[in-house]
Structure 1
């Protein structure tokens, strides 16, 4: 200030090259043939040590085993990047050249057997802003990728679910279901419906398998197309929604046996169940949906697939709907005692996201054919000199 001898000095933490990037979780794989690329979507944490908020937009970094073109394996894209001070969990898409690039082939081979340090740098076209590109020209950072891109994250849902048969179920076949949902991707996540109904399943009481018919056997309930909920990073929340009883799982002559088996088995307050479904998910900062297969993947599901469906004294009311649908005698309303409180599911304790041991075995359990919109190939791929990787082609859900 003119005329006032004040000399104040202060310090401002710099960006330090944004060199503190940590792998969080695998999301999905997508494969393109022209050009041949394996696109692995993952969540990472970028720590911004400064007090600055940076609105970068789409950022594309070159990626390799070292900071030169000779070791180049592909690109890492972060869409709509906005860095606030502190930790930022974001989605990055690593696009690896799966053609004749020797360095990329070696990178993919190594990633199948060990942790790999991937180095990234900015080119002159890293962003659409020439001035920003000049400032990023010295950017050098790296991230340690775990073997098979596998990390330990919370399961997407609890192993305990609740079902409530409503007074209106006899007319519309809709029951109320609730459970605790978690966030396995560690970035803000919104579920916005179901990718494909016929490619998933919600199975109750599978020991009655011989009573079911057709390709949809076992699938007792359908997830609603309009299922919507949001789970922020590191959040768990109880979600209650409607599901539809299925008519086409059984022939008319088997209805009494199937319904009686369900009701009898639920007499102790629970049924065994398993889930296999494709939710339609939008992740923070992403302009497109992703379609993870939520069934049995070791990184965030239960190894034996079996869950618990808690039932109440209202459960025998399912008989009314089935008997009405099939025009059977005995469809009069079932006398139900005073309902007892529904048991609330207990959220599983989320495990911290950590890097696993160097050599886990990938899961390869069969799953339904994925949707037609280039959905995820949930397990890692083994490279070869030509693009041989393709999404899993498997049998429909049994």
Structure 2
């Protein structure tokens, strides 16, 4: 079709998927004052029922409570939209006019108390391609927005983490951490470090993992600035990485008691833990990062219990690093080497009983053979008789 960048030359049947968009997950809100807008990023699913791939580019749809200017509340933008056959999970930015527009103000109020069916349509400037805009002129689309833009998605990470204190931890303060990470945004994403203090809204620095011992909490471990991993839209995977122990969480006079408490509480194989982490995340098709708080936010659904940090027999080695950092005297922690299992003695092999051939009696030289007892001639064994197969009489 002239003027429309199609990878497959066929009809515009692929655009039918734009008429039924499904809400997936909330990402973040960004507020601008000039003009006054609330920009909500969410992930949505657009199903392409055709066998074509359609490169649309940036698509901006008008949005409202109904398909008319009186109910207009803002715009819905999808950047770099490319529809492949089947499901397409993409990021959309719903920009709501929060200034003097009564319909938009009512929309924002209602979204706090109910689900809303948002209607969308294409204007003559929906894309940068006039030919494609002509094909979109009759588009009528909708998406059901859940109250608060909240939906049930996979938690960002497992509620069970594992720690390994390494033989090198005493020198560099690095411990090995592993857990299962999930994708709560349901679009391709990559974690690219942690947010700096001046990035995003309300971010805190540093990002830490905190241990609970008794009634006290200690921000023991720092997320590394270069921590990174990538996940497909519905992917989960185990990630192993290093975290740095923190020196500034304990006063020197309290180190012996606090470290002893940690080791004592970890003796049963686990400690209670929480995460206060602002990752720097890039989502597919987006030019800017998002900085979700992965701690008490809806991205993690563990409101009824703390996370679990699984510890092993190497955990007491954590004492050596703290004692070295604070210049305290103390014998290095000795981790007993597990004894190898006892080796069962292998019984000697039983001697094989090989029958000896019976010797043939030899005639005694003093006793010549009796002439009355001549040796019996050898009797040959009869040949086997093979009977021919019975032949049935001819019919």
8 Å contact kept, 1:66–1:119: yes
Cα distance in structure 1, aligned partners of 2:282 and 2:297: 20
Q: CA deviation at 1:18?
A: 2.2
Aligned residues of 1:189 and 1:230 also touching (Cα < 8 A): yes
| 5+ long unaligned stretches in structure 1 | 1-9, 210-216, 341-398
Of the two, which has the highest radius of gyration?
A: 2
CA distance change for structure 1 residues 154 and 307 in 2, over 3 Å: closer, same or farther? same
Query: Aligned-pair distance for 1:50?
Result: 1.0
Provide the residue aligned with 1:43 in structure 2: 43
1:270 aligns to what?
270
1:221 alignment counterpart: 221
Per the alignment, residue 151 of structure 2 pairs with 151
**Which position in structure 1 is the counterpart of 2:80?**
80
TM-aligned CA deviation for residue 282 of structure 1: 0.5
- Inter-partner Cα distance in structure 2 for 1:12 and 1:74: 26
> 1:18-42: per-residue Cα shift (whole Å, max 9, x none)?
2121000001111111111111100
- Match of 2:171, SS? helix
> How many equivalent residue pairs?
323
TM-score (norm 1): 0.78
2:246 paired residue number: 246
* CA distance in 1 between partners of 2:71 and 2:305 (Å): 41
Report the 3-state secondary structure (helix = DSSP H, G, I; strand = E; otherwise coil) of the residue aligned with 1:220.
strand
Q: Contact 1:161–1:178 at 8 Å: present in 2 too?
A: yes
Measure the CA separation in 2 of the matches of 1:31 and 1:327: 49
Task: String of CA shifts for 1:367-391, please: whole Å, max 9, x gaps.
Answer: xxxxxxxxxxxxxxxxxxxxxxxxx
Matches within 5 A, 1:222-237: 222-237=222-237
Deviation by residue 1:319-357 (Cα, 9 ceiling, x = unmatched): 000000000000x431002379xxxxxxxxxxxxxxxxx
1:117 is the counterpart of 2:117: yes
Match of 1:198 among 205, 220, 228: 205
For normalisation by structure 2, the TM-score amounts to: 0.79
Superposed, 1:340-379 pairs within 5 Å as: none
Secondary structure of the 1:285 match is: coil
Q: 1:183 to 1:225 in 2, by over 3 A?
A: same
For residues 265-316 of structure 1, the C-alpha deviation after alignment (integer angstroms, 9 at most, x for no partner) is: 0001100001111000001111111001111223532113510000011000
Q: CA deviation at 1:227?
A: 0.4
| 2:214 partner SS | helix
Equivalent position SS for 1:218: strand
Which structure's relative contact order is higher, taking Cα pairs within 8 Å and 6+ residues apart? 1
Offset of residue 189 of structure 1: 1.0
Partner of 2:30: 30
Deviations 1:203-234 (A, max 9, x none): 1124352xxxxxxx721100000001011111
Equivalent position of 2:337 in the other structure = 338
Distance 1:287 1:11, change over 3 A: closer
Look up the match of 2:92.
92
Matched residue SS, 2:259 = helix
Taking the aligned partners of 2:95 and 2:305, their CA distance within structure 1 comes to 32
Q: Distance in 2 between matches of 1:174 and 1:11?
A: 58
- In structure 1, the residue matched to 2:321 is 321
Name stretches of at least 5 consecutive residues in structure 2 with no aligned partner: 1-9, 197-203, 340-395
The C-alpha deviation readout for 1:237-289, integer Å capped at 9, x for no partner, is 00000000000001000101110011000001100001111000001111111
Distance 1:178 1:146 in 2: 34
Q: What SS does structure 1 have at the residue aligned with 2:256?
A: helix
Partner of 2:105: 105
